[in-house]
Amino acid sequence: MSGAAINSKIQKIYGKVANKVGYSFDVYRSLDYIDPIQPRNYLKTINFAFSLDDKFVKQQGYSFDLFNLWVDTSFAKQGDIFINEELNKRFTLVGNDPIATPQGILSTSLISIYRPTYSSTGGFKPTRTEIFTLVPAQVMSTSSGANTGNTGNLSQIKNVVQEWDIWTWLPVGTIKPHDAIIDDQGNDMTITSIEPSSLGYKLHCISTKQ
């Protein structure tokens, strides 16, 4: 039996699990990551299940976790986004190895990424150019006293440096240190370090509220 035939059989098994215990999810694929969740990027609707273990019993804590995605991914690519509005669930496919269970990030936020540019106009003050818009991501505050279950918001706090970790998927080489990120809670962050991998980017950031 060829590798392609084996892969097809494996994908059908994942699809059968999704048909039995899954939910209906819409699939989106973006090529430019400019507001990827919009009608022009819609691919299809498919049955989809998710879990943190094979027994569907483990619960997610306040941490970065890879989810097992029980879905036929024979059509799918890394970076595809699976959404169920009723469940308020949004996953990004980051692992699609032919012989392993597909894996994904549960995206709790939407982030826009900006690149600072400098010129002599205005005393070399940086200006920002938006390079990606409303990309699904998981955003967590890592500062002392961080709220669990949400990103937190600095709107009522002044003169404090907040630390953040972000996990998202974008093509390799597209994000750089010192790029700025604004999430859907209005938190304005600067990337201090990057951990790229085959499963996406883990970004370490800081923000300062004046």
pLDDT tens digits for 156-197? 555 678 999 999 999 989 999 999 999 999 999 999 999 998
Q: What is the pLDDT of residue 149?
A: 43
Q: What is the pLDDT of residue 41?
A: 97
Longest CA span, the chain: 67
pLDDT greater than 90 at residue 202: yes
CA distance 132 to 52: 29
CA distance 166 to 108: 10
CA distance 167 to 63: 11
Write the Ramachandran bin of 205: left for phi over 0, alpha for psi from -120 to 50, otherwise beta: beta
Q: What is the pLDDT of residue 97?
A: 80
Two tokens, residue 146: 């961080």
CA distance 100 to 7: 10
pLDDT greater than 50 at residue 146: no
List Cα–Cα distances, 65 to 18, 25, 68, 131, 174, in angstroms: 20, 20, 10, 27, 23
3-state secondary structure of 11: helix
- Average pLDDT taken over every residue of the chain: 84
Two tokens, residue 145: 């006293």
Q: Is 101 exposed, middle or buried (0-12, 13-18, 19+ CB in 10 A)?
A: buried
Q: Where are the domains of the chain?
A: 3-106, 109-209
CA distance 159 to 127: 22
List Cα–Cα distances, 178 to 57, 91, 193, 203, in angstroms: 39, 26, 8, 11
Q: Which residues pair with 103 in a beta bridge?
A: 68, 95
Structure-model confidence comparison of residues 71 and 57, the more confident one: 71
Q: What is the pLDDT of residue 40?
A: 96
User: Any residues with CB less than 8 A from the CB of 106 and at least 6 apart, and which?
Assistant: 50, 60, 65, 67, 89, 90, 91, 138
CA distance 94 to 77: 8
Superfamily of domain 109-209 in CATH is Bacteriophage SPP1 head-tail adaptor protein (2.40.10.270)
Q: Which residues pair with 89 in a beta bridge?
A: 84
User: Any residues with CB less than 8 A from the CB of 11 and at least 6 apart, and which?
Assistant: 72, 73, 74
